[in-house]
Structure 1
Amino acid sequence: MNAKGDLIARLTALGLSTPTFDAAAQGPAHEQVFHVTVSAGGRTLGRGEGRSKRDAERAAAEAALAGLDAQEEGQEDRPRESGGRWPIYAAVLEGALEAALDLAPEDATLDEVRADAARLYRDLLAELGHGPEPVGGEDG
């Protein structure tokens, strides 16, 4: 499982912004513990800690995914940012990520590439008529 990648894909499918991971280290250099908070769209999605920054980011992404799962199970009627849930097509998402990476300038940040990939993905699905699915009991 690639929790960070899965989280990015989930947020893209939901039409939400790219997640940001904020890390802080505590303790002496030989015994540091990293604390990471992952957020998107101005709200905290999860927190994690680990002996390395990578482990803490993974734990935070896993917590965010668990929170999103619980939210979907318990609050299906809650409106989402884009008016619905975008379907996940792994091959299309992978292609959008590759295209965004190929088109990105050399000095682009990872968050910029992710945001471009999300836009490409949503635009392509919209052009193909696979836009967001209605949430809750909405009539279309």
Structure 2
Amino acid sequence: MNAKGDLIARLLTLGLGTPTFDATADGPAHDRVFHVTVTAGGLTLGQGEGRSKRDAERVAAEAALAALEAREEGQAGRPAGRWPIYAAVLEGALETALELAPEDATLDDVRRDAARLYRDLLAELGHGPEPRQDEEA
């Protein structure tokens, strides 16, 4: 599992933009502990700590993914499935959205359009949200 990559793809799919990972370090050089907070769209999504910045980012990304899943389950009183992540399809959606974007479009506009294209394409192909395990019959 690539938690950081999965988080980026999930946020783009949701139209929330890319996450920001803010890191701080405590302790002497030989015994450093890194603390990372991940935010997107002005919301703090997760925090993590580790012996390396990379480990702390991974833990924070895992926490953010769990928070997003819990948030989706609580929305509209219905459980939400997980959209599968196909990197090549997502990349194509981003490229298409960029090509179709007007010159004055912001990066967030392009991301939102790419997420919409990605969701619509997967839905048309029958690859919509995967049912949660407790929803499967």
Normalised to the residue count of structure 1, the TM-score between the two structures is: 0.64
Gaps in structure 1 of 5+ consecutive residues = 79-84, 104-111, 134-140
- Render the CA deviation track for 1:13-60: whole Å, top value 9, x for unaligned: 111121000000000001000000000011100000000000000000
Tell me which protein shows more helix as a share of its residues: 2
How much does 1:124 deviate? 3.9
**1:47-126 matched pairs, under 5 angstroms:** 47-73=47-73, 75-77=74-76, 88=84, 90=86, 91-96=88-93, 99=95, 118=111, 121-122=114-115, 124-125=117-118
- Unaligned stretches of 5+ in structure 2? 100-106, 129-137
Calculate the TM-score normalised by the size of structure 2: 0.65
The alpha-carbon deviation at position 77 of structure 1 amounts to 1.4
Q: How many residues align?
A: 112
Please give the secondary structure, in 2, of the residue aligned with 1:18: coil
Percent identity of paired positions between Structure 1 and Structure 2: 63
How big is the alpha-carbon RMSD for the aligned residues of Structure 1 and Structure 2?
3.4
Q: Output the CA distance in 1 between the equivalents of 2:58 and 2:7.
A: 10
The change in CA–CA distance for 1:120 and 1:64 in structure 2 (over 3 A counts) is: same
